Amino acid sequence: MARFILGRLIGGIVILWLVSVLAFVLFFVVPKALGNNPAVLFAGRSPDPATIAGVTKKLGLDRSYVDQYWDFLRGVFVGRHFDSGSNRSWCPAPCLGYSFRNDQPVWSEIVDALPVTASLSIGAAVLFLVVGVSTGVFSAVRRGGLFDRIAAAVSLAGVSLPVYFTGLLLLLLVSYKWHIIDNVHYVDFTHNPALWAWNLIPAWLVLSLLYTANYQRLTRASMIETLGEDYVRTARAKGLRERTVIGKHALRPALTPIVTIFGLDLGVLFGGAILTEHTFGFRGLGAISIDAVNTQDLPVTMGVTLFAAFFIILANVLVDVTYAFIDPRVRPS
Amino acid sequence: MTDPTHTAATASSGTPFLQVRDLTVSFHTDDGVVHAVDKLSFSVERGRTLGIVGESGSGKSVTSLAVMGLHRRGRRVSIAGEIRLDGEDLVTAPAERVRGLRGRRMAMIFQDPLSSMHPQFTVGDQIVEAYRVHNRVSKAAARRRATELLDLVGIPEPARRLDDYPHQFSGGMRQRAMIAMAVSCNPELLIADEPTTALDVTVQAQILDLMRELQKEFNSAIIIITHELGVVAEISHDILVMYAGQAMEYGGVEEVFASAEHPYTWGLLQSITRLDRQLETTLRTIPGSPPSLINVPPGCPFHPRCTYRERAGSATSTTRPPLAETSPGHLVACHLPVAERRRLLREEVIPTL
């Protein structure tokens, strides 16, 4: 088992490295090849040639691509110096460079945004997983019944309605019409847990509505399949209570595909829920990345990309490991 | 013997442990009503084995699932008649009551042990679970019981194999484990639905031996469902031949094998593969295929495939033949006159066996 996990981890690291190479090529090599000097973007509005030269030297853009990539990689692990001759700065590990826009370390921007994204995604994930799976199970057990049909309709609405519609509608109601939560904004968990949750509720609802539908349908389909399996009939033949038959014997194998999708969804959510963050005015990773893209802030874009890739790959490794725990048949002997 | 359908060939005292009377199971589908089991009656006593034979789709499994209460009752399934387990009618009993009997007083072994055991729980856990549903004991005690059971069904190193998953067992071992699970609460009725079909021939014999031993030990009533007459001959005391959800012939195994009187039973006997049969004779088959259970032929359901239908008169295609006693404990549902049936058996059927 340890070897299996180690293998998956190594595989994950290799993929992350490949992503970093690809991101580097995409954000630093390609623009330059197309004639966009990254130094100009950093130097501010209508810079003079001397400034551009200084920036180029500071960012090491005059060096070969391989050296530049090496500097970047070293920065991540041991930190790096930025030296333009006149001013010298030390960027401690993990160094992802400085934002072109506000000269802040990319790492600290990401670290500041992470709690917002984490709060949003974990809360929403718990909600859509619990609601989606439980309604899916109910639908499967009483398929064709009233609950199943209502759930199917709500599901369809859930996947079809865009977040910026449901989000704004919800904000309009709870904030402007009923004044239940005035001025929705992000409150740090350590500052006030109650306010933290209270302000996040609308965003959780909106974000999870989108996913709940998928989980409801997936669970329903998966449960219908396992409920027809021979081992479920065996469980009934033992005289087990229907609750045990459904909740243990049928649900457990039905969860396998759900764990897979859940891991991937959670990984993607950690990369930033752009629309939801934007709708509610939260400064999470999604908001940062969209700003970075809009302002051609290459180091931030690259940092956020790598961060998102890291979470998706981590989620994949966790899914594989969880999978082996759930299903003994894929467990390496 | 007041009502011959009760006891068939098993002339012995007391009421049988399982008594099924006029059992009818229908499924309401979009295509129409499927008459899976139609007015079926039989009984099994403790310490005896009934073999139910018939082709696929003759209602054997539906019957066993009905006895176990495993059909989901509702708009789609209707069950009528009587299923008396130790005198108690299961058809009218509340579902929760039947659940309490399942696994405890009646248990079932299924055809394919690989798909019938849960792939994600260890063999031990599955046996422990079966035992603890009906017995209030600690996990440790149930585990000891599971070890004993695995030992009883002939699994070597039972304490170690307890923590294996079903996929780590061989086919025969899995069926043994399945049997261990079924007998964990000492059920008085054991139903085995094609218990050897998925297994190698050599393993088949071992499993049948095991079932026989367990029957001696627990004095249980056994119903074995199969399409192989060889299995019935090996293990059963009584035989019930089913066709299109109805009983065709019912009686003691020796009696029926020696002097079967239903043309369908003859067909089954003729289609047994035998090593001692002359090579040039091709394997006989029953012409045609079993009827759709939505449109069961009127009269005798077998008449469209029956070689002797001309001799049975016009009633065979209009009136359902009653399951009537032809000799003590031997019942046949056929319109052919008794003397004619016996003559055909003697002159046309026995020479071909």
- Chosen for mutation from B28, B72, B76, B118 (greatest number of chain A CBs closer than 10 Å) is B118
Contact A241 B99 (CB under 8 A): yes
A48 three-state secondary structure: coil
Count CB atoms within 10 A of the CB of residue B285. 9
Per-residue pLDDT tens for B148-157?
999 999 999 9
Share of chain B above pLDDT 70, in %: 93
DSSP B205: H
| Least confident piece of the model among A180-189, A218-227, B300-309 | A180-189
| pLDDT class of B272 with cuts at 50, 70, 90 | confident
Per-residue pLDDT tens for A90-104?
888 888 888 888 888
Question: d(Cα B261, Cα B26) in Å, to the nearest integer?
Answer: 28
- Residue B103: per-residue pLDDT: 95
User: In terms of CA atoms, which chain A residue is nearest residue B69?
Assistant: A237
Question: d(Cα A7, Cα A332) in Å, to the nearest integer?
Answer: 12
Contact B119 A329 (CB under 8 A): yes
N-term to C-term CA, chain B? 33
Contact B70 A237 (CB under 8 A): yes
- Residue A89: per-residue pLDDT: 81
The token duo for A92 is: 């401690």
- Chosen for mutation from B72, B99, B193 (greatest number of chain A CBs closer than 10 Å) is B99
Q: Which of B104, B118, B122 faces A231 most closely, judged by CB atoms?
A: B118
Residue from B92, B65, B94 nearest B80 by CA:
B92
Mean model confidence pLDDT for chain A: 89
- Residue B3: per-residue pLDDT: 46
Q: Which of A234, A240, A242 faces B117 most closely, judged by CB atoms?
A: A234
Q: Which of A238, A328, A329 faces B130 most closely, judged by CB atoms?
A: A238
Per-residue pLDDT tens for A53-82?
888 888 888 888 898 899 889 888 988 888
* β-bridge partners, B34: B27
Per-residue pLDDT tens for A295-307?
888 889 999 999 8
Element (H, E) at B124: helix B123-134
Q: Which of A231, A233, A327 faces B70 most closely, judged by CB atoms?
A: A233
Q: What is the mean pLDDT of residues A172-187?
A: 87
Share of chain A above pLDDT 90, in %: 45
| pLDDT class of B279 with cuts at 50, 70, 90 | low
Q: What is the mean pLDDT of residues A123-132?
A: 95
Per-residue pLDDT tens for B80-117?
999 999 999 999 999 999 999 999 999 999 988 999 99
Question: d(Cα A293, Cα A274) in Å, to the nearest integer?
Answer: 12
Which amino acid makes up residue B42? F
CA distance A140 to chain B (A): 14
- Chosen for mutation from B120, B131, B174 (greatest number of chain A CBs closer than 10 Å) is B120
Buried b (16+ CB within 10 A) or exposed e, A191-202: eeeeebeebbbb
DSSP B300: S
Q: What is the mean pLDDT of residues A260-287?
A: 89
The token duo for B119 is: 């792939």
- Residue B283: per-residue pLDDT: 67
Q: Which ranges of chain A does DSSP label H, i.e. alpha helix?
A: 2-24, 30-33, 38-43, 49-58, 65-78, 106-141, 146-160, 163-171, 193-227, 230-237, 242-244, 251-270, 274-280, 285-294, 298-326
- Whole-angstrom CA distances from B227 to A169, B52, B242, B268 are 64, 8, 10, 9
Chain A residue set in contact with B, beta carbons under 8 Å: 229-231, 233-242, 249, 252-253, 326-329
Q: Which ranges of B222-316 does DSSP label H, i.e. alpha helix?
A: 229-235, 253-258, 263-270
| pLDDT class of A320 with cuts at 50, 70, 90 | confident
The dihedral built from the CA positions of residue A19, A21, A22 and A28, taken in this order, carries a sign that is positive
Chain centroid to CA A243: 35
Helices A106-141 and A193-227: crossing angle in degrees, nearest 10, is 40
The bridge status of strand B106-109 relative to strand B189-193 is parallel
pLDDT at B191 over 60: yes
A·B CB contacts under 8 A: 69
The bridge status of strand B189-193 relative to strand B221-226 is parallel
In chain B, where the domains are located = 119-186, 262-352
pLDDT at B6 over 60: no
A-chain CB neighbours of B108 within 8 Å are 237
Does the predicted TM-score (pTM) go above 0.80?
yes
| Least confident piece of the model among A50-64, A99-113, B39-53, B65-79 | A50-64
Domains of chain A by range and CATH?
Answer: 2-91 (no CATH), 107-330 (1.10.3720.10)
Count CB atoms within 10 A of the CB of residue B75. 8
Contact A238 B102 (CB under 8 A): yes
A-chain CB neighbours of B165 within 8 Å are 328-329
